[in-house]
Amino acid sequence: MSQFARSPLTAVLGPTNTGKTHLAVERMCGHASGMIGFPLRLLAREVYDRVVRIKPPGEVALITGEEKILPPKARWLLCTAESMPLEREVAFLALDEAQLGADPERGHIFTDRILRARGREETMLLGSESLKPMLKALVPEAEVIGRPRFSTLSYAGAKKLSRLPRRSAIVAFSAEEVYAVAEAIRRMRGGAAVVMGALSPRTRNAQVAMFQAGEVDYLVATDAIGMGLNMDVAHVAFASLHKFDGRRKRRLTVAEMAQIAGRAGRHQRDGTFGALSEDGANAFTPEEVFAIEGHRMPPLEHLYWRDGEPDLSSIDALIAALEERPQDAVLRAAPQATDLAVLKRLADEDWVRARVRSPAMVARLWAACGLPDFRKLGVDVHARFVGRVFGHLSDGRGYVPHQWFADEIARLDRMDGDVEKLAGRIAAARSWAYIAHRADWLEDPQHWAERTRGVEEKLSDALHASLQQRFVDKRTTVLLRAIGADASQLPVTIAEDGAVRVEDHVIGRLDGFRFSVLPGLDATDKRMLLAAAEKRLGSELARRGAALAATDDRDLGLSGGGITWNGARIASLVPGAALTRPRVKLDRALDSLDMRARSAVEVRLARWLGDRVEAHVPGLVRLDAIARDAASDPQLRVTAAALLTGGGFVARSAVGDSVERLDPAARRALKRAGAVIGTLDLFDPRLFKAEPARWRAALLAARGDDTAAAAPPGATVLPRAAAGGGYRAIMAQAVRVDLVERIARAAHDARKGRAAFAPDLAFATSIGMAPATLDRLMAMLGFKSVAPAEGRPHWAWRGRRPARALPAPRAARRDGAFAALAELDLG
């Protein structure tokens, strides 16, 4: 669109809530045609919905990577920045949030639009005041107009979740953190809406509608809300001031803080911002507060650039163009984006080189590399997916196969599962929606676009319902709004069986620390009763927390991989530094305790857990100590670590020749730890007893390994498929390793040299070993079958093959690059 380079170019700069986007929409609608590029699909959709209420729907288009509404007579186009059809002539063109040219991941897109995208009659750039020096350097002809904020934005200090005012938005920077905050608000304040960039527009709009309609008073979101999404927010609270930017976890810049905080207050209504913590790394500094309140953003010093019209004559020319360094001093070469990383990986494939022999095929390959990694699988996995797509686009008729597309969409057309699974399916559906909106990638793109849109809408509705179910307690919301001043005066009793009564009305149960309301309770008619109970439960839970911190060992127990107190589950075991050192994760019901009480409970449970592990699986504890002892023999440490990893069991062949190299002292150390060095396996025989086996299973489960639960206590021989740790698979059966060792010892005691002998098979038969299993075991032990005498099987010793050994380590060169590592203690 360089022919429009001399059209008037206006840069409208200022903080949030200055009406910049509203101005651009008004200007566009005043022209015969127009286009606006936005940073988010959600924002493009929001403005599209606004414009179709002004202009005929048949003349308004929405163009994003995975959603395209493009009527034949469309004159006004709302797009994501990446999807702007720059070859299309329009009278007016605008780019929103143009300061994102400084973003390492997507900045080159926005910089390219700043430099190349022009309207025939008018061009407008919208963004932060920090962009001004960049515009003066790159487009000096631009007229820069500053706009003041309509309302005041002020710092309100740090507030805990329980004290946040109504109409607050809490901002977090990962899906896990968003979910955790939303669940906490549901417990304390009745519920929250959830908004994330990964949500489909349909789900996002449904969630925002709940918030706007007052069904919930709180909104939990990622920084997606910072990019112009308009909601009635009075206060923005930061759950954290750090984010992972794709490369590292870092503190937000002042500009990022201001962009998000600026969502508070709309038009003439003032807004406030703050954090959830008043000290530490997640608290605002005075300098940051001063800058945000005064809208004093540090000027940008550079923008990222990549050739927007690269050479497509060959793959190598394309890569070279994309890696070309900018000539302008204020531009920096963009870091390698996913599309370029995928292109490089495919360029290494011979079959790709063989098919890409013309500029048209180079363009087709580059278009395929532009398929976004919606599922966040990483470059290697995503490159394989793109390679499969391009394989079809470059073969035969050049279309993605109907059956493959249909099968993948059918696989996603399921509404079951939790929030995470539904969100994952939506992310996958976005990939197929992107493919469906490429007109030359499918034989019937319109059909498949409608099919993917239908699946995404169903998944979006299911996700909205799941988010409501998980994060909104409408009963609590109503109660909190209607609690009367005298609710605390009503008598509340908690029976020994946990029944909670208000004036003799049973309204719920308190099991341990978990309070559950009776399903049949009418929240409207009995809200005063419930309010009184909740006020009373606070002191009761605090009392129980103190009692738990001082409880006797006899009141604590292990059940189903969790810790119980008087029969009620209060914590679970999660992975720790080692198998014998899992961490204690308190049940969510204990979130009602203050930080000091929770810490006291955690210390108490950790001490109890350590004592129980020491008492019931002392061998594993000793193996852990040996494996960490830098002074121990290296072969001993390797062997102990392998035993510990296997939960007290490891095949002798799995540790190579480490066992063979053990000196007598090391063998005695293993024996003191309770380990037996058997013919085929190393094991701790105490772990077959009921209580040690139960604790071993719990430790393995905490590590995410549930194989120990497959073997019933006391079982000697199992079907091969049911074998877990402590059982050796032989033919169709699995035999307990200590019994295998007993049979091996008996066989060796019975033989005399290499002469044939008839072993006593009574024991093997008594434990349920099949003849074929025993024959195979004898062969594994080093015996060979000989012609039977007197009708009984006879065996002769032939000697066992040595265990497969690991290659001996080569001596390190004393003058090599890694010689210094030999001096380090890595234990």
Residue-wise pLDDT tens digits, 89-99? 999 999 999 99
Angle of helix 286-294 versus helix 254-261 axis, rounded to 10: 60
- Only one residue has tokens 């001082």, namely 550
SS3 123: strand
532 and 421, same domain (yes or no): no
809 is a domain residue: no
Whether residue 420 has pLDDT greater than 50: yes
Give pLDDT, residue 470.
Answer: 81
Mean pLDDT within 606-622: 93
Angle between helices 618-628 and 664-672 (to 10 degrees): 140
- Is residue 1 scored above 50 in pLDDT? no
pTM higher than 0.75 for the full model?
A: no
Does residue 816 fall inside a structural domain?
no
Residue 341 half-sphere exposure, CB side, CA atoms within 13 Å? 15
Q: How confident is the model over 383-405, as a mean pLDDT?
A: 93
Q: Which helix (H) or strand (E) holds 762?
A: helix 762-766
**Residue 743 structure tokens:** 């049979």
Domain that holds residue 523: 483-608
Interior CA angle at 501 toward 496 and 502, to 5°? 150
CA R_g for the chain: 34
pLDDT of residue 111: 96
Pairing mode, strands 76-80 and 331-333: unpaired
What burial class does residue 695 get, using C-beta atoms within 10 Å of its C-beta: 0-12 exposed, 13-18 middle, 19+ buried?
buried
Residues 413 and 505 both lie in one domain: no
Burial class (CB in 10 A: 0-12, 13-18, 19+), 141: exposed
Strands of the 583-586 sheet, one edge to the other: 556-559, 562-565, 568-574, 583-586
Q: Which residues contact 799 (CB under 8 A, 6 or more apart)?
A: 782
475-499 pLDDT, tens per residue?
555 444 444 434 455 566 777 777 8
What is the number of domains present in the chain? 5
Least confident of 181-190, 587-596, 644-653: 181-190
For residues 724-739, give the mean pLDDT.
88
In-domain check, residue 347:
yes
pLDDT value at 319 more than 50: yes
Span 518-554, pLDDT tens digits:
765 544 444 555 555 666 677 888 888 899 999 998 9
**Residue 560: count of CB within 10 angstroms of its CB:** 10
Please name the residues in contact with 664: beta carbons below 8 A apart, sequence gap of 6 or more.
Answer: none
- Tell me if 685 sits within 8 A of 617, measured CB to CB: no
By C-alpha distance, which of 537, 697, 498, 718 is closest to 613? 697
Mean pLDDT of the chain: 85
Q: What is the C-alpha separation between 490 and 530, in angstroms, rounded?
A: 10
Residue 422 inside a domain? The answer is yes
**Are both 682 and 714 inside the same structural domain?**
yes
pLDDT above 50 for 311? yes
* One domain for residues 322 and 458: yes
Instruction: Note the pLDDT of residue 823.
Output: 41
> Can you give the pLDDT at residue 58?
94
**How many beta carbons lie within 10 A of that of residue 420, not counting itself?**
12
- Residues 794-819: tens digit of each pLDDT: 888 887 654 444 444 444 444 444 44
| 433 and 531 together in one domain | no
Q: Is residue 766 part of a domain?
A: yes
- Check: CB of residue 724 under 8 Å from CB of residue 749: no
- The Cα 100–Cα 245 span in angstroms is 14
In angstroms, the Cα distances linking 68 to 71, 438, 452, 454 are 9, 10, 12, 14
**Same domain for 499 and 363:** no
Same domain for 322 and 378: yes
Q: How would you label 653-662 residue by residue, b for 16+ Cβ within 10 Å and e otherwise?
A: ebbbbbbebb
> Percent of the chain beyond pLDDT 90?
42
Q: Are residues 783 and 648 in the same domain?
A: yes
Determine the average pLDDT of the residues in 569-598.
89
Q: What is the CATH number of the domain that holds 266?
A: 3.40.50.300
Calculate mean pLDDT across residues 749-775: 84
* Residue ending a domain, choose from 579, 608, 637: 608
pLDDT at residue 442, rounded to an integer: 92
Instruction: Using pLDDT thresholds of 50, 70 and 90, give the confidence band for residue 3.
Output: very low
Based on the fold, state whether residues 98 and 159 are members of the same structural domain.
Answer: no
pLDDT of 382 over the 90 cut = yes
What's the 3-state SS for 734-755? EEEHHHHHHHHHHHHHHCCCCC
CB 258 within 8 A of CB 207: no
Question: In the structure encoding, which two tokens stand for residue 9, read together?
Answer: 């170019």
Residue 760's pLDDT band, with cuts at 50, 70 and 90, is confident
Higher-scoring residue by pLDDT: 79, 297: 79
Q: What is the pLDDT of residue 6?
A: 57
Q: Same domain for 129 and 164?
A: no
Asked if residue 539 is part of any domain, the answer here is yes
Q: Which two tokens stand for residue 532?
A: 């009184």
Q: Does the pLDDT of residue 326 top 70, yes or no?
A: yes
559 bridge partner residues: 562
Sheet-wide strand order for 34-38: 68-69, 60-63, 76-80, 34-38, 92-95, 122-127, 9-13, 143-146
Return d(Cα 212, Cα 579) in angstroms, integer.
49
Query: Of 608, 636, 653, which one is at a domain's C-terminal end?
Result: 608
Please state the rounded mean pLDDT for residues 730-741.
90
Per-range mean pLDDT, top range of 219-228, 294-303, 330-339: 330-339
The rounded distance, in Å, linking the Cα atoms of 166 and 180 is 19
pLDDT above 50 (res 473): yes
Highest-pLDDT range among 151-160, 305-314, 815-824: 305-314
Choice between 580 and 711, residue whose per-residue pLDDT is larger: 580
Q: Please tell me whether residues 589 and 639 are part of one structural domain.
A: no
Distance, CA of 69 to CA of 756 (rounded, Å): 85
361 and 318 Cβ atoms separated by less than 8 Å: no
Q: From residue 480, give the alpha-carbon distance in Å to each of 218, 474, 490.
A: 13, 10, 16
Domain end (from 93, 121, 146): 146
The 3-state DSSP composition of the chain as helix, strand, coil percent (nearest 5) reads 45, 15, 40
- CA distances to 348, 608, 671 from 324, rounded to whole Å, are 20, 62, 65
**Domain contains 807:** no
Q: Lowest-confidence range among 160-164, 382-386, 397-401?
A: 160-164
Q: What is 519-582 written as a DSSP string?
A: TT--TTTTHHHHHHHHHHHHHHHHHHHHHHHT--GGGEEEETTEEEETTEEEEEEE--SSTT-P
What is the spatial distance between Cα 475 and Cα 62, in angstroms, rounded to a whole number? 39
Using one digit for the tens of pLDDT, what is the confidence trace for 197-235? 777 778 888 888 888 888 888 999 888 777 656 678 889
Under the banding of pLDDT at 50, 70 and 90, the label for residue 826 is very low
Asked whether the beta carbons of 593 and 717 are under 8 A apart, the reply is no
Confidence label for 369 from pLDDT (cuts 50, 70 and 90): very high
Q: Tens digit of pLDDT for each residue in 493-524?
A: 777 777 877 656 676 778 888 877 776 554 44
Residue 802 domain-assigned (yes or no): no
Place of tokens 């530490």: 280
Same domain, 277 and 182: yes
Q: Token pair of 142, please? A: 């631009």
